[in-house]
Each structure stands twice: as structure tokens, then as C-alpha cells.
Amino acid sequence: MLTLAVVFVLCVALYLYGTRTFNYWEKRGIKHDKPIPFFGNNSRMYLWQKSMTEIGVEMYWKYPKERVVGFYRAMRPELVLRDPEIIKRVLVSDFGYFHMRGISTHKTVVEPIAKNLFLAEGDLWKLLRQRMTPAFSSGKLKAMFPLIVERAERLQTHAINAPPTGRVLDSREIMARYTTDFIGACGFGLDMDSLSVENSSFRQLGIDIFKVEVSQIIKQMLKEMFPEACKHFRIFSKIEKDAYALVKTILQKRNYQPCGRHDFIDLLLESKQKGKMVGQSIESVKSNGMPEEVSLELTEELMMAQIVVFFAAGFETSSSSTSYTLHELAYNPEEQRKVQEEVDRVFAKYDNKLCYDAVSEITYLHCAFKEGIRMFPSLGHLVRKCARKYTFPDLDLTIDDGVSLFIPVQALHMDPLYFEEPEKFKPGRFLTDFINPLTKHIYLPFGEGPRACIGERLGLMQSLAGLAAVLSRYSVEPAPETLRHPRIDPTSNIVQSVVGGLPLMFKLRSK
């Protein structure tokens, strides 16, 4: 009898713990779905039934008249934003309140690999961003372009190598290999030749970074449910080991000194030579209200984290965006013809060679790429975390520090309120400014504000070069096994991916 009583008390205690925050949105009059103890509204993501982006799309359309919608990620209150003006405030106007990315479950105890520019919080993020921004200047990007050309030509001649009758290839995998080679060259001074070598170590590292295992999901779920108790759980331990070994080899080859290649490794080594990173705090203020001065040493551990995120963010987003653009062009042959005519015309002007100026002039291809990432943005959602108590001026709503803000980018991009016939692939919509002024804060494939993607211009340049190289020589068509609407991988979380790749028929063009 005593045993039953103890079990009953434990069950009640667990239930109360697992539901302790579930009156947060109700008290504030915010509509939301009924949460499940411990899981909140996020059980389907934990059970691999829906990706976080797909869940965000559902929440967006379920409450069409609300400007914000309540959500519980496990037991943590989260606010889904549906209104352009509120999104602008969070990302830009009131950034000081929302500078935290909010993906890490614990601010002070994080895995070394998570101390990168994408996941870092507070002063660590600010100092890293300040020091790394010069790596992406126009001059540096232009200097990298010959390396892009070399990889794009390999993509044309070796990787695809399709006859006039056609060849079915997974466009997702082909573009991932092209992007991997580009990042290996421009980032690390390595010629990995992933386009020719089936199992290159660099390509395998890219696969491993985004490969989700059951153990990782369980650890992440427990960290979100019990953040203090599980804060020491390591999710990226295998990737850390492989990445450390690769980075260590590169640094040792250069004797920990810049070698004059002006790549990402050189930038970090030059940055280390400059000494401590120093700047104004985004977290702490003096008694007079002025920001504290903060400093940070760029350790080898921090360098490794930046190198891994440069590689991961660059290869996954670019390969996803370029392959999906090819997918839509395959199903829209008239648009593909317009792009190819422009590519042919501009290339003829530059002796049929791919060069920086040629890529800058291929306007309609740029529009097609923008349309591709509107329909399928790599980052299907953005997350920010409230750093201190904040009141939304026209909502009569105050949220506490630690509450996350969820921006459902995929849903916003497909809302007919902002984009006419959003389900149709219409590159021409990007030839002129959007008629709806609110769309500026709705079209967010690279984010917006101080935490927008630092490598946007580099990714754009490399993606357009790859697409131009492919479409100047080949046409793409749906293959027998191609799905018109690819199925989203339910295990993809931060970056969207599809199940089964994106197979297309590549045919050599007859000019």
C-alpha cells in the first residue's frame, strides 16, 4: 500500500513538473493548442513525424486571424509571429531585446562546436561577428571567384557528363559536391575533388553534420525538457572529433601562420595574431547606462567552431537552394528557356567564359534563384530568444526573458497575402520591387537585421555560378522517379531537406 502511495505521489509530482509552464499563454490571452505534459506542442518533432518548419506552417495557418500564436517547445513558452511589423521589431528595430539565437538550451554550458557564429549568444556572438565580417567584403569575394570558376567547370564536364539522350542524376547530391569543393578551396585551401571522388572525407563530414541519429533527438529532447539536469549532454561529439582532426591538420600544415591564400583559415589566423577581440557588450551596462567593454581570446577551440559552421552553413544551404531551383526549372520549361537565353547572351559577351562580371549580369537567373528560395527556403524558420522583459506596444502583451520567438519563414513565403499565386514558380516577380511594402520583412531566406547570414553574398555568388555553369550546357527535365512536390524530411530541424534527394534528367543542350 505504501509503495502504491509513493508511486502515486511521484506520478503527480512528475505531472505537475511536466505541465508547470502551461498556463503561460492562457494567462496572457494568447491562442494556442493544448500542450501535452513534457512534450508541449512539439511531440511530433520529437517522434520524427514532422519537421519544426512543417509544424510552424501548421500553426501559421491554423490561426489565420491572429498576429501571434502561443506554442510550447517541450515546457518552454514560444511565440509564433505572423505579423510583418512584429517580425521587423524582433529582427531589426528592437534587436537589443532579441539578440539571442535561442537554439542552445543553456547559455553558459555549451559544447565547444556550438560556440560558432550561428549558435553563439550575447557578447561571444557580437565579438565574433565584428571580427569575421571583413572576410566577406566585395574585394575578398571577387578574389575568390577564379576558385569558383574552376569548380563550376568541373561540375559541367566531369560530374554531370550527360549525353544528348539524357542522364538521371540526383541534383541535390551533385550540387552538394560542387558546393563542398568550393568551400574546401575558398575556406580551407584544400582541393577535395568531391565531384570526382565518391567518398571524399570532406563530403562525408558534410553528410555527418546533418545526419540525425536517434540518440541526438533523445538528448536534444531531454535538454529541452530538463535543461539544468541535462546541460552537459553532448550532441555533436562525433562531429567534433572529426572536425578537430581535420582543422588540426590544416593548421599544422600552415604552421599556425597565414599563408597568403586569403581564405577563411587565413582570416582566423590573422585574427588570432591581432590579439584579443575587444568591443562593447551587448549584455552588460555600467551604472551610467553605457555598455561595458568586453574582450575575448580567439582560442583554437573557437577557431574550430567557426570553421565547422562556415563549412556546414555554406554547403547545406547552397546545395539545397540550387538543386531546388533546378527542380522548379525542370517543371517550368518556359522559365528555363528564358534563363538559358540570358545565360547564352551574357556568356557570348565574355567569350563564353564564366567570370565575375558575367555572373553579376545574369539578372533573370538571379530572379529564378530568388524564387526558388522563396518557395523552399533552406532555413524554413528563424528563432530568437527574448533577452529581457519586453512589451509589444500594440498587443498589450508582455513576455519574459527566456521566451523564444518563432518566425515561420516557409509559411510567410507561401502566403497569398504577400505573394500573388505563391504556389507558382514566377521568377518575374523579382524583376521589380514588391508591390506590398510589408513583403520586405516577409521574404527572409537569409534572415534580416544584425544576425542576418554573414555569408549571403558569398553563397549567392557561388550558387549563381554553379547554376549558370549547369544551364549553359544542360537542360533539366523531370525524371520518371521525380516527385513534383518532394517530401520534407521530418528529421530536418534547422535546415530543411527532402527525402530521397531531387532526381532530374540532365540533357546536353544542342546550340
The pLDDT of residue 223: 66
Residue at 124 is within a domain: yes
Residue at 54 is within a domain: yes
The pLDDT of residue 185: 79
Residue at 5 is within a domain: no
Confidence of residue 226 (pLDDT cuts 50, 70, 90): low
The pLDDT of residue 463: 93
Rounded CA gap, 487 and 475, in Å? Answer: 24
| Cβ(109)–Cβ(233) below 8 Å | no
Q: How far is CA 90 from CA 28, 40, 86, in A?
A: 19, 24, 6
Identify the DSSP state of 69: E
Residue at 75 is within a domain: yes
pLDDT in tens, 146-193: 888 888 888 887 778 888 888 999 999 899 888 888 887 777 777 665
Phi, psi of 277 (to 5 degrees): -80, 130
Contacts for 79 with CB less than 8 Å, ≥ 6 apart: 30, 68, 69, 70, 71, 399, 403, 404, 405, 406
Of 278 and 263, more confident = 278
Provide the domain limits for residue 345: 25-508
The pLDDT of residue 196: 57
The pLDDT of residue 455: 84
The pLDDT of residue 195: 54
Q: Is 11 annotated as a binding residue?
A: no
| Cβ(340)–Cβ(364) below 8 Å | no
Confidence of residue 375 (pLDDT cuts 50, 70, 90): very high
Would the pLDDT of 114 be above 90? no
Kindly state the percentage of the chain with pLDDT values over 70: 87
Rounded CA gap, 106 and 108, in Å? Answer: 6
Compute the average pLDDT of residues 14-19: 80
Confidence of residue 126 (pLDDT cuts 50, 70, 90): very high
The pLDDT of residue 506: 95
Residue at 14 is within a domain: no
Distance of CA 198 to the CA centre of its chain: 25
The pLDDT of residue 238: 63
Residue at 19 is within a domain: no
Exposure string over 202-216, b if 16+ CB within 10 A, otherwise e: bbebbeebbeeeeeb
pLDDT in tens, 324-359: 999 999 999 999 999 999 999 999 999 988 889 999
The pLDDT of residue 209: 59
The C-alpha cell that represents 286 in the structure block: 555600467
Residue at 212 is within a domain: yes
Kindly state the percentage of the chain with pLDDT values over 90: 42
CATH of the domain at 90: 1.10.630.10
Residue at 3 is within a domain: no
* Cα dihedral 456→461→467→472 (10° resolution): 160
pTM: 0.90
Count of structural domains, the chain: 1
Compute the average pLDDT of residues 24-45: 92
The C-alpha cell that represents 249 in the structure block: 591538420
Rounded CA gap, 37 and 20, in Å? Answer: 9
User: What mean pLDDT, rounded, does the chain reach?
Assistant: 85
Confidence of residue 211 (pLDDT cuts 50, 70, 90): low
Would the pLDDT of 278 be above 70? yes
Confidence of residue 79 (pLDDT cuts 50, 70, 90): very high
The C-alpha cell that represents 65 in the structure block: 486571424
Compute the average pLDDT of residues 483-502: 89
Confidence of residue 416 (pLDDT cuts 50, 70, 90): very high
Of 225 and 500, more confident = 500
Q: Would strands 76-81 and 404-407 be described as parallel, antiparallel, or unpaired?
A: parallel
Q: How far is CA 273 from CA 92, 201, 258, 267, in A?
A: 33, 30, 9, 10
Per-residue 3-state assignment (H helix, E strand, C coil) for 242-280:
HHHHHHHHHHHHCCCCCCCCCCHHHHHHHHHHCCCEEEE
The pLDDT of residue 164: 82
Task: Using alpha carbons, select from 102, 93, 96, 100 the residue that is nearest to residue 124.
Answer: 100
The C-alpha cell that represents 437 in the structure block: 511594402
Backbone angle region of 501, left / alpha / beta, with phi > 0 → left and psi within -120 to 50 → alpha: left
Compute the average pLDDT of residues 429-447: 80
| Cβ(87)–Cβ(392) below 8 Å | no
In this structure, which amino acid lies at residue 199? N
Give the containing element (helix H, strand E) for 59: helix 52-62
| Cβ(96)–Cβ(282) below 8 Å | yes
Q: Per mean pLDDT, which of 20-24, 55-59, 296-300 is the most reliable? A: 55-59
Residue 332 CB neighbours (<10 A): 18
Would the pLDDT of 215 be above 70? no
Q: Per mean pLDDT, which of 6-15, 196-205, 270-279 is the most reliable? A: 270-279
Would the pLDDT of 72 be above 90? yes
Would the pLDDT of 436 be above 80? no
Confidence of residue 109 (pLDDT cuts 50, 70, 90): low
The pLDDT of residue 153: 84
